[in-house]
Chains A and B, each alone.
Chain A
Amino acid sequence: MNLGPGVDALARFLAGPEPAWWASALAACIVWLGPLLLIVLPIAALGQIIERKVAAAMQRRHGPNTAGLDGLVRFLVRCLCWFLPRATQERLTARLCRLPGMQLARRLGLGQLVADGIKMLGKEDLIPGNADGWVFRLAPYLAMCGALLPFAAIPFGQHLVALEVPVAALYVAAAGGLTVIALFMAGWGSGNKFSLLGGMRAVAQVVSYEIPVGLAIAGVVLWCGSMDLQRIVASQYNAHWASFLGWNFFQSPFLALLAVILFVAGLAECQRTPFDMAEAESELVSGFNTEYSGLRWGLFAMAEYAEMFLVGAIIATLFLGGYQSPFGEPAIIALPAWLAALIHALMLTLKASALLFVMVWLRWTLPRLRVDQVMRLCWITLVPLALLALFGVALTMLAAGSVAPGSAYGRIPALPELHLTPLAHALAWVLPVAIAALLIVLARRQHGRLHPDLARLSGAGR
């Protein structure tokens, strides 16, 4: 079995040219799990900072701004420099705390994260008497798996990816699907009717919104002719200095529409406001995680932030050029490999964080949807729109001559790279937008004469 070049190399480094199985296992754990924990847990922390600061800014307060890292520094100085006299320790602490970075840490409330972590670890781990033992205990870990596993296939730079599979786009969707089971297990295992109701709502919502997500991913797969996320990112490369012109988002209005659909559906999959019916605190206490406390609750919370970041990273990878810089990408590629990798990883993190910021922004802007509104948005708006956009993507490809009708009958040669000329690019934008505008105008004029069923379906009669 092929465990990937990184694992093999590390195993050989650990235990010689013919590594024993334990060396392979250790290498696999380090290569696969190490980046996950080193990258994703800070990401969850980053999500929490963005959430708190944006929430505070939108409500005109400071947010967590008193807890800096001073206490942590004092603790570390005490531990590491115990041999120095107390006065020297204090002076050292004071000098360290006056560093400019520490001021920033205080303003961002970084100490709050450490305090929260310690509080979470120290809390009592309650298990309700009515709970379904192992189902209740297992659920948070499975939720964490569902949030972390997809990161393995997301490229953070050229060849900077933990798991190289040719079907990475599908893998991301499959691994993310584990969350659904975790939600059901949490809801059922709690032995509490509020939790069960919240769990059922969450599961129904996530399963429904997987369809627009799948259609949106299918559109990009169709456009790029590959399910390999690395190839999808590479196909968005543009040698122009304004390299964002090569991004899928700007290729066609249909792809832009798919990106918006993916964002909305991804928001619903994370159960964030306005789609947080599942944890509606005014009626269900807190939904499926009502009965959880301590570290188990913390795992659910971290999984939520990791999942939000994941949605941002997927949208960035599929539509916004992945790890590529919006400007001057050719110059960055020409840099030394380690520097380029660093900039690329930073770029993807920035893009995903920007999308995460929009999610938090939406949370404090939009009211919560009712159950029927959530389902209506999915089945009557998003799914038909996504199908239409998918059809439009196929039509654009047909018009651009990248694929011939009927070529599917028989062995297809590898699709040629789709590069639109500026004129075709402009046409690909102008034509669909003009047709859509025309259709909207016609539909508005026809509005009174719709068939009653259609009118009801489109919500016109309300």
Chain B
Amino acid sequence: MLADLLFWICALATVGGALASALLPNLVHAALCLGLALSGVAGLYLFLEAYYLACVQVIVYVGGILILILFATLFSSDILGRFQRSPPWQRVGGLCVAAIAGALAVRLGQVVYQHAATLEHQRPAQLREAIAAPGGIGDLLTGPWLIPFLLASLLLTAALLAAVALVQRYRHRTPKDVDGS
């Protein structure tokens, strides 16, 4: 089946991209592979017929967060990963976290795969439309989940303000400036 093939491509992109982004020494390569993994997740959302979520995943994570990460990697003094290796405790800890996350991911993949296989027959068309369109999500965000939604935006505002504060030049600190020049 074509759907099977597409599912395996998406799953492979997600897992392979995640592995590569963890293992590649070159930071820019690792970040680009993270982009592959994030796009794979968007593809899996498409399998759940959650088009809205897939689009938001690409816009926010691939178009926004990944670019931030790429910009941040360029500040590193060792982009090519020639000089520094992770200490052993980080590797062991990372392996443990990866094992747990991997188990979860396999379970999730199973759910998505079964879902894609049975979707067309089991779900009423109305429910599928509700998932595909953003209206239902909008209702939830402006209804029962309004307070968490507002709190998240408050957090983002705080982060923005902190960013502005970080790049301020403290002109009044030098005595010359205090004198009023």
Contact = CB atoms under 8 A, between A and B. Distances in A.
Interface string A227-264: 10000000000000000000000000000000000000
By secondary structure, the A interface counts as helix
A174 interface: yes
A188 interface: yes
Interface stretch (A116-124, A177-185, A321-329, A356-364): A177-185
A181 B33 CA distance: 11
Given A165-B51, A412-B139, A24 B63 contact: no
A227 B134 contact: yes
A408 B142 CA distance: 6
Nearest to A207: B67
A239 B4 CA distance: 47
Given A25-B2, A171-B51, A227-B134, A180 B143 contact: no
B55 A170 contact: yes
A3 B139 CA distance: 28
A82 to B, nearest CB: 43
B19 interface: no
B55 A171 contact: yes
Given A167-B55, A177-B59, A409-B142, A185 B119 contact: no
Contacts of A135: 28-29, 32
Interface string A111-138: 0000000000000000000001001000
Given A25-B2, A135-B28, A181-B66, A174 B143 contact: no
A159 B106 CA distance: 39
A24 B2 contact: yes
Contact of B4 (A3, A21, A200, A207): A21
B81 to A, nearest CB: 13
B31 to A, nearest CB: 9
A45 interface: no
Contacts of B139: 410-412
B133 A166 contact: yes
Interface string B1-15: 111111100000000
A174 B59 contact: yes
Contacts of B70: 184, 203
Contact of A174 (B58, B138, B146): B58
Given A1-B3, A24-B2, A170 B52 contact: yes
Interface in A1-35: 1-3, 21, 24-25, 28
A174 B62 CA distance: 9
A201 B133 CA distance: 35
A1 B5 CA distance: 11
Interface in B30-84: 32, 35, 47, 49, 51-52, 54-56, 58-59, 62-64, 66-67, 70-71, 74
A15 to B, nearest CB: 12
Contacts of A188: 28
B135 interface: yes
Given A188-B28, A411-B139, A412-B135, A2 B63 contact: no
A177 B143 CA distance: 30
A227 B2 contact: no
B67 A25 contact: no
A142 B29 CA distance: 15
A175 interface: yes
B55 A21 contact: no
Contacts of A409: 142-143, 146
B132 A166 contact: yes
Nearest to A138: B32
A188 B76 CA distance: 14
A173 interface: yes
B116 interface: yes
A2 B133 contact: no
B32 A177 contact: no
Contact of A410 (B4, B32, B49, B143): B143
Contacts of A132: 28-29
Nearest to A175: B58
A390 to B, nearest CB: 16
A21 B2 contact: yes
Contact of B116 (A1, A166, A178, A408): A1
Contacts of A174: 54-56, 58-59, 63
A1 B128 CA distance: 12
A210 interface: yes
8 contacts: A3-B2, A132-B29, A135-B28, A174-B59, A174-B63, A203-B70, A207-B63, A210-B63
Interface of A: 1-3, 21, 24-25, 28, 132, 135, 165-167, 170-171, 173-175, 177-178, 180-181, 184-185, 188, 200, 203, 207, 210, 227, 408-412
Nearest 8 A/B pairs, CB to CB: A177-B63, A24-B2, A1-B3, A174-B58, A170-B55, A174-B55, A408-B142, A166-B133
